[in-house]
Structure 1
Amino acid sequence: MKKHKNWQRWVTSAALALGLSTGAMAEDPMKVGFVYVGPVGDYGWSYEHDRARQQVEEHFGDKVKTTFVEKVPEGADAERVIRQMAQSGNDIIFTTSFGFMNPTEKVAKRFPKVTFEHATGYKRSKNMSTYALRTYEGRYLSGTAAGMMTKTNTIGYIASFPIPEVIRDINSVYMAAKAVNPDVKIKIMWVSTWYDPVKESEAANALIDQGVDVLIQHTDSPAPLMAAEKRGVKAVGQASDMSKFAPTAHMFSIRDDWAPHYIDVIEKVKAGTWAPQDFWGGFAEDMLSVASMNDNLPADVKKAVNDMQAKIKSGEFHPFTGPITDNQGKEVVPAGHTLTDTELAGVNWFVEGIDATIPK
């Protein structure tokens, strides 16, 4: 025991001589885990989440240690993966897909000392927050360009699952396209997957066969853009800069940047100031951006996209300000009212003019 105390004194003296605190020497790195629904190489959603994870490591250095699990199915497997992450000592766990919501909530209850952050969901607790991107802002720019560029007056949307985020974004695309082209129509193809290049390519070609000449996707591979390039139509990249996959067809991409939120959460947990919240980030928070606008776009289209981005970023314009009527003739957003974040998270209707029903 005496030898142990002498050793402690020596370590403390050495630390002070070097200008270090003994607390800093003893501090273990904060462990942060990420759960991805797709592969990190999807060039879309999971790719950008993992790029943000790498930025976290660059920002914090050896003060943070990150791990991730990719290609996690939404359901029982997700709960198992999240539970294993909690059991392995992670201080913070980010679960990055809507279908991880219920599994995250279950595991959060069992591990009250772990901080959980769930992307795109709506369930929160004392140790579980939600966070989302205002992807509808980027979709509005996509719709503006699509409405101006279409020659057939028919644009196409490759949709993943009928959750509020996807429904909300389809509406945003169509309202923007309609605002610049009253004759525009939208065709929607549901593929029931976030990432499946074969299905995405088949959906893209099917839409093009139906007269679509501008494609917008809510799936994560560059397959739709590659199909657009082969078929001579236009398309918008999803989540990351997809310009290299379609040099001619690619109009621009709306890029997601999750790093500001991840860094902020980690700093708050380390400082003991974290509290559960429902966080939304968009153009104003520099978590969305327009990437690689194509030089082949007409000047008026470029200007319209840039001007609309500036209006949304400044708060001058919000896509979901009423009056808005759904495609059943019901007023869903009264004149002068802008949907709150809570209301945006519950959008389950298509706007007037969309000739489609939402799958159950």
Structure 2
Amino acid sequence: MFSPALRRSCAALAAVTSLALAATACGGTTKNSSKGEDTAKTSDVKADPNAATKKGLTVAFLPKQVNNPYFTVADKGGEQALKDLGSTYKETGPNSATDTSGQVSYVNTLTQQQVDAMAVSAQDPGALCTALKQAMKNGIKVVTYDSDTNPECRDVFVSQASAEALGRTQVELLGKQLGYKGEIAILSAAQTATNQNTWIEFMKDELKKPQYKDMKLVKTAYGNDDAQQSFQQTQGLLQEFPKLAGIISPTTVGIKAAAQYLAGSKYKGKVKLTGLGTPNDMRQYVKNGTVEGFELWDPAKLGALAAHAAVALKSGQITGAKGETFKAGDLGSFTIGDKGVIDLGAPTVFTKDNIDQFKF
């Protein structure tokens, strides 16, 4: 979902790796059944919350896009949690946030490598399903985080917060900044991004409330989680809608690129911008008056919770059923909700008054 500022340093290596993985992804092997691994997500398996936490597991993180600052922070959180739990972390994935076929290849390769669990941020809700179901049949526990698949294609989804809360609060933030008047646009990531589309539906529903009667959503644009495309889409929105009053960008790539454009244009301080961003990306734009406020959860905690969920699943402490609870270290205890969703918690709103308190 987020800014590729760190991409260049590993681009060559990633390209070689991607080719190698693509060449081997179709072979397919199965887990050794003599290990007694469960072969699929089944309703008759019972959780044992008092089961011992397994150590020595290998958990792979497969973000939408490697070398993306947001996922770098999130996955580092997963890495630290796995270290604390006595298990091994690895990360792999595509360089592009829209390379869905590449993501499928990485899932297949991880299945061949017989990892114990994988944490996946899905580029598309359905495209990964066949590969993920095969992984689950081979005894691999599948956690989605940040962006979900269809529920039947994973064991649990670790959500940043309630999807409804995230969608509605972004509209609320912009509404307050605009005095609830004016034309607005949404600058999203990819058109297939599950999390983005879910939030946008709640944004549209929020806009139906009476207090937003003088606010009009004129367009949803897509920057494909690419900084240059998002920058150009921001420019295009302002050219197409000269009366545009505000932009919501529910992606850290998009909000940073939009802020960069606004900061160097005549629209600085006139067109309001909010959405989801990291404090490190947005600090300068908050301090120079381009952005009044935006929100996000702590991505390191999101990655850590995904790691804890993966280990809890593999240890048999949870199965993904509604109502099950598990402990996630210093993060506390969590209860699984409908359709296997685990909410991290409420997002934080960042303004000039508090942004320097956060270093991610």
TM-score by length of 1: 0.62
Aligned-pair CA distance for 1:260: 5.4
| RMSD of aligned residue pairs (Cα, Å) | 3.1
Asked if residue 82 in structure 1 is aligned to residue 107 in structure 2, the reply is yes
- SS of 1:99's partner is coil
Name the CA distance, whole Å, in 2 between partners of 1:185 and 1:240. 27
Runs of 4+ in structure 1 over 4 Å off? none
Amino acid at match of 1:261: L
Asked if residue 37 in structure 1 is aligned to residue 64 in structure 2, the reply is yes
Name the CA distance, whole Å, in 2 between partners of 1:249 and 1:255. 21
Count of aligned residue pairs for this structure pair: 262
1:289 matched residue in structure 2: 347
2:168 matched residue in structure 1: 140
1:197–1:32 Cα change, 3 Å: same
**Which of 61, 67, 77 is the matching residue for 2:90?**
67
1:207–1:256 Cα change, 3 Å: farther
Query: What are the Cα deviations for residues 78-130 of structure 1, in whole angstroms up to 9, with x where unaligned?
Result: 222112222223100111114274335325325522112234122426x7444
1:198 matched residue in structure 2: 228
- SS of 1:80's partner is helix
- SS of 2:347's partner is strand
Asked if residue 246 in structure 1 is aligned to residue 285 in structure 2, the reply is yes
1:185–1:92 Cα change, 3 Å: same
Amino acid at match of 1:238: L
- SS of 2:150's partner is coil
Name the stretch that deviates more: 96-105 or 80-89. Answer: 96-105
Any residues of structure 2 matched to 1:1-360 within 5 Å, and which? 29-43=56-70, 46-57=71-82, 59-60=84-85, 63-70=86-93, 71=95, 73-99=98-124, 101-109=126-134, 111-118=137-144, 119-124=147-152, 128-133=155-160, 134-150=162-178, 153-160=182-189, 161=191, 165-177=195-207, 178-191=209-222, 193=224, 195-209=225-239, 210=241, 211-221=243-253, 222-230=256-264, 231-232=267-268, 233-241=271-279, 242-247=281-286, 248-250=289-291, 251-257=293-299, 258-259=302-303, 261-277=305-321, 278-282=339-343, 285-286=344-345, 288-295=346-353
- SS of 2:108's partner is helix
- Which protein shows a greater Rg? 1
1:212–1:50 Cα change, 3 Å: farther
Aligned-pair CA distance for 1:162: 5.1
Aligned-pair CA distance for 1:268: 1.5
Give the number of the structure with larger relative contact order, counting CA–CA contacts within 8 Å between residues 6 or more apart. Answer: 2
Amino acid at match of 1:191: Y
Aligned-pair CA distance for 1:49: 3.1
Amino acid at match of 2:244: V
2:26 matched residue in structure 1: none
1:74–1:188 Cα change, 3 Å: same
Give yes or no for contact 2:142–2:156 (8 Å, CA) kept in 1.
yes
Name the stretch that deviates more: 271-280 or 213-222. Answer: 271-280
TM-score by length of 2: 0.62
Unaligned runs of 5+ in 2: 1-51, 322-338, 355-360
Query: What are the Cα deviations for residues 42-100 of structure 1, in whole angstroms up to 9, with x where unaligned?
Result: 44xx345324323424532xx11111114265433222211222222310011111427
Identity percentage of aligned residues:
11
Unaligned runs of 5+ in 1: 1-23, 297-360
